Structures are given as C-alpha cells and as structure tokens.
C-alpha cells in the first residue's frame, strides 16, 4: 500500500537535498499544492537558493527562522539564501514558487553581483513579504506572476525568465532597506543552528525514550534554554515536537505497512498503545485503524 504524497528531503542539517535547476541554468519553477504534501505541510528545510513564493489560493502559515507569518491569497514572500523555513496550510493551498541561485542574475565575480546581489544575500535579512496594497510590492508580485507564466513559453523561457528576474531584483534592491534595523526581519544564525541540532537528535532517536534533559544535554544547554529556543523558532516545546514527530512516523507506517497498531505504536516511540491511540485521534481526528482505512480507500480511488 503506497501513498502518492510529496515530501521535502533534507540532509542531517536540514539542507534540501534536491538540486534545483542545473549548473548552467540554476533556476527552477514549482507549482505546489499543499493538498498533495503530507499533512498539507512542506517541512523545515533550507537551500542555497533564494526563493520567491506567491499564494494563488488558500491561507499559508510560513515558519521562517523564529517568525510565523500568515500569507493570504494574493500575497507573496521572498526568503533569503540559507534560511530555515516551513510552509503549512490547514487545508490545501496553491503556492507557485521559484528558487534561484544568486549567480543566475549576474556572475559571482561581476560588479553587478558584488554591488547589488551580495549586500542582500549576505545581510541579516531573512525574508520580505509583498502585498498589493504597497505599490512597489505590487509591482514585484506582478513580475513574479509574469515569470511563472513565461515558463510555458519554451521558445524564449530562459531569456525571458532572466530578464524579468533582473527587473524584479532592481525594484527589490531599490526599495528594501537593509540599514533599517527596526524593520529588518533578521535571524539569529547561532540559535537557529542549535534548534536544528536538537531537531536532528529527535529525528534520529524518536523511537527511543527521550526526555527534555537528554535533548538539551545533546547540545550542552540547560532545559530552560532548550525550551526557549523551541518556543522562539518552532512555537512549541521539545517534548511536543517529539510527540508530533512520533505521530508523523506512525501515520507513515499506518499508510505504508500492514503492521499491527500495537507494533506501530512501539516502533514510533510510544510504550503505551492506549496513550498512543488517544494522541493520534486528538491530532488526526481518527483512530489509527480508521486512519489506515481512510488511506486505503483514498489509494483505491486513485
């Protein structure tokens, strides 16, 4: 029984593994619908490319660094290079987006790159939202839509994409205020790395008994510091994140294996099957058995 869902693949540092575009054309466009991602979520990841995303429909919750941003239909966002981020929608949400290596706009050793691109990608800016109510942001959204539309034109797609992206970047560079410390959306890279290391530890050991003290000790911080870091970046506690990850692992086993519920509970880190069933129903509004049946019906319908 195999479910056909999309999933972001990352390495141990949460860097996305997938290559976007090619070495001679480092640009990639995606037409993503969160309906087709596990739990309507593109999980935590980062990449060297910067990203521009547009909300075509739905309401999207973006976790970016330690911020949570709600984007509504018609809004857009820029996410800087190497910034940890996540997208979630309570139901489906269509989010066309494109990712691009900075040197696609201009060669890395060029004056254009050093003067107009490097100051932004090397700054502490983690993201910038765009809304149509602000004239310069509305212009960027319009160009983003043109870039997405030009992907259908095989005759001039690459050249048109580059020309439009350079136009977009000019407007962005002219209007973004890198020196405005009060309004800049920044990220604490050292703190973010600590959170990533704790998340990694949970992912590698979720099926064992884990305590808050063990999670914190793994990176040499106190329990209160671990709690503070998780609240800042993930808006949850380490233990709640651990339970959520265990439930995700259990849901995958329910969809993709014929193992008994008791076995799945144990392999996912739960030592009490009744406790597991209560938590699972609370999160997914179905018992584990009913969830498995619903997945099977969906698979058969496909």
Q: State whether 168 and 235 are in the same domain.
A: no
Say if residues 87 and 41 touch (Cβ distance below 8 Å). Answer: yes
* Last residue within a domain, chosen from 112, 141, 175: 175
* Last residue within a domain, chosen from 125, 147, 175: 175
Q: State whether 33 and 159 are in the same domain.
A: yes
This prediction's pTM: 0.70
CATH of the domain at 61: 2.60.120.280
Say if residues 231 and 274 touch (Cβ distance below 8 Å). Answer: no
- The pLDDT of residue 183 is 43
**Tally of domains within the chain:** 2
Q: State whether 218 and 274 are in the same domain.
A: yes
Helices and strands: H and E segment counts in the chain: 11, 9
Q: Which domain covers residue 92, as residue numbers?
A: 27-175
> pLDDT for 28-54, tens place per residue?
999 999 888 777 888 878 888 999 999
Q: State whether 145 and 68 are in the same domain.
A: yes
Distance CA 238, CA 241 (A): 5
Number of residues in the chain: 302
Q: State whether 245 and 160 are in the same domain.
A: no
Q: State whether 152 and 202 are in the same domain.
A: no
> pLDDT for 65-81, tens place per residue?
778 899 999 999 999 98
Q: State whether 141 and 240 are in the same domain.
A: no
- Residue 236's nearest CA partner among 98, 68, 95, 72 is 68
Could you write out the DSSP letters of every residue in 112-157?
A: HIIIIIHHHHTSSB-EEEE-TTSHHHHHHHHHHHHHHHHTT-TTTH
CATH of the domain at 200: 1.10.10.60
């Amino acid at each position: 029984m195999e479910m056909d869902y999309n999933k972001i693949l990352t390495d141990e540092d949460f860097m996305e593994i997938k290559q976007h575009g090619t070495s001679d054309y480092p640009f990639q466009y995606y037409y993503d619908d969160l309906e087709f991602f596990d739990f309507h979520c593109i999980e935590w990841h980062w990449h060297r490319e910067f990203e521009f995303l547009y909300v075509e429909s739905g309401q999207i919750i973006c976790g970016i660094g330690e911020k949570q941003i709600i984007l509504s239909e018609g809004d857009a966002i820029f996410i800087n290079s190497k910034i940890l981020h996540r997208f979630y929608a309570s139901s489906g949400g269509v989010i066309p987006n494109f990712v691009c290596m900075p040197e696609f706009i201009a060669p890395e050793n060029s004056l254009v790159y050093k003067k107009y691109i490097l100051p932004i990608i090397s700054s502490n800016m983690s993201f910038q939202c765009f809304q149509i109510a602000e004239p310069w942001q509305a212009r960027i959204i319009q160009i983003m839509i043109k870039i997405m539309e030009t992907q259908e034109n095989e005759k001039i797609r690459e050249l048109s994409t580059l020309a439009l992206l350079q136009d977009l970047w000019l407007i962005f560079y002219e209007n973004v205020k890198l020196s405005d410390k009060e309004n800049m959306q920044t990220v604490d890279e050292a703190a973010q790395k600590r959170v990533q290391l704790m998340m990694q530890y949970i992912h590698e050991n979720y099926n064992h008994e884990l305590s808050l003290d063990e999670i914190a000790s793994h990176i040499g911080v106190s329990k209160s510091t671990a709690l503070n870091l998780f609240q800042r970046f993930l808006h949850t506690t380490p233990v709640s994140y651990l339970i959520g990850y265990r439930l995700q692992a259990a849901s995958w086993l329910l969809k993709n294996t014929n193992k008994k519920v008791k076995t799945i509970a144990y392999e996912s880190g739960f030592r009490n099957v009744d406790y597991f069933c209560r938590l699972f129903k609370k999160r997914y509004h179905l018992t584990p058995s009913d969830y498995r049946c619903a997945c099977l019906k969906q698979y058969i319908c496909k």
